[in-house]
Amino acid sequence: MKVAGWVFVFSAGPAWYTATAMMLAATSGRTVLPLGKFTKTANRPGGRPVQAVEFAAGEPGVHRGQ
């Protein structure tokens, strides 16, 4: 029980780092804390971690002029 408790306590550190890095990247749109992605541009602070998935014409289902 004590070993399992300590493993759980130590696993909270990487979980906190990952969640914080993902939250900061999502809110700012830039890399603040590296997440260890495969590309160098995604790991460089200030770089764009991902490309936005969106339609070129804007919102789906909305007709022009509405």
pLDDT tens, 36-57? 777 776 677 776 666 666 666 6
Quick one: pLDDT at residue 30? 78
Whether pTM > 0.85 for this model: the answer is no
Any idea what the Cα angle at residue 52 is, between residues 30 and 17, rounded to 5°?
A: 40
Q: Of 19, 20, 22, which Cα lies nearest the Cα of 49? A: 22
Torsion angle (degrees, nearest 10) of CA 34, 37, 38, 41? -50
More confident residue, 51 or 34: 34
Percent of the chain topping pLDDT 70:
62
Q: Cα–Cα distance between 22 and 32 in angstroms, integer? A: 9
Q: Cα–Cα distance between 5 and 52 in angstroms, integer? A: 40
Quick one: pLDDT at residue 59? 63
